[in-house]
Structure 1
């Protein structure tokens, strides 16, 4: 069954089609949610809420562009909204002018395996983790991140710099 037919069946309320759609994307979307969550149960909550929104808004998908990308955006926005409600940026402060951020890895620096890196990113404080993922993985600018999270561009830069420092400290230790 092609994706468009699957979507049409979902829109008609076919629960079997909805289950197939969920099963088709759940694993990938769990990975997306896991990047923003501190642990697996939180990621499961993000994903469950995200799929509720996917099915509630399926009528708004125009059958143009990547459906997977559309779902992914919902999962990211849902995760960020839940994190915002938890007020993860309450104590965030803008970057000091003398603190420089470098995106370049130092020559000869060991790179950890992917699983270890994912675990470290999950262990980051929520504000660091959200900004880090948006900047590094989603390629958002600090201005965009600020708008998405309701923080200043400077606070986004600060959170990213602190996330990098936090991560580097644990990678070296």
Structure 2
């Protein structure tokens, strides 16, 4: 996985809290994880609700970073957990269950994005001139929430690559596989995204005016 520390504040990599206003189930008394998995594979509704409650809040935070609204993130979350319960027998315990679910959420978010108003052929064709690189140190003073708010303003293609690389820690090779693009294209979009992010911040603090 990629080291995102040189791109964004280190806290951003762990920022996966659910967004305000999101509808989530109340926590339930936990079974052991192995018990829950076995019961979920037997399609027991109570076990499925318990597994959902255990991971829904964090995974909604993941979905929200890729979605443009809380409602869209909730749709991604619901679709993701349908896949989780359908594919649960595929989980072999190689790595954490949380990481396995997270990848399903990210992949589902990408599928939503590609099937939405911006089709795949436009994915990495953001028609935005690449600016000169401003001073990167200005981002270090921002909170996680402030950086995420700036990322919301990026063009969709480079925003997606930045999110995958700098927030969720995928390598350019993994991003290329997930999006069906060349590694060099992923790297170019990341460079553009980073410079656009810095430019947006400098405009915000009146160093550069639109």
> Normalising TM by the smaller chain, what interval?
0.7 to 0.9
- Which residue, 116, 121, 128 being the options, matches 2:146? 116
Aligned counterparts, 1:80-119, within 5 A: 80-86=110-116, 87-90=119-122, 92-93=124-125, 106-107=136-137, 111-119=141-149
Structure 1 gaps of 5+ residues are none
Do the aligned residues in 1 keep the contact of 2:157 with 2:189 (CA within 8 Å)? Answer: yes
Find the counterpart in structure 2 of residue 24 from structure 1.
Answer: 54
Question: 1:56-110: per-residue Cα shift (whole Å, max 9, x none)?
Answer: 111211244311111111111111122233325526359xxxx7998xx634655
Alignment length (residue pairs)? 168
Pairwise CA distance, 1:165: 2.1
Q: Which moved more, 1:19-28 or 1:120-129?
A: 120-129
Which 5+ residue runs of structure 2 have no aligned equivalent? 1-30, 204-210
Change (3 A) 1:71 1:91: closer
Identify if the C-alpha distance between structure 1 residues 64 and 107 changes in structure 2 by more than 3 Å, giving closer, same or farther: closer
| CA deviation string 1:35-72 (max 9, x = no partner) | 21122222111111111100111121124431111111
Of 158, 166, 184 in structure 2, the residue corresponding to residue 136 of structure 1 is: 166
Tell me which protein shows more helix as a share of its residues: 1
The root-mean-square deviation of aligned C-alpha atoms, in Å, is 2.6
| CA offsets 1:108-151 (integer angstroms, 9 cap, x no match) | 65522111222222333322221001111233232321221012
Deviates more, 1:44-53 or 1:108-117: 108-117
Provide the C-alpha distance between the structure 1 equivalents of 2:36 and 2:123, rounded to a whole number of angstroms.
45
Which residue of structure 2 lines up, in the alignment, with residue 158 of structure 1? Answer: 188
When normalised by structure 2's length, the TM-score is: 0.70
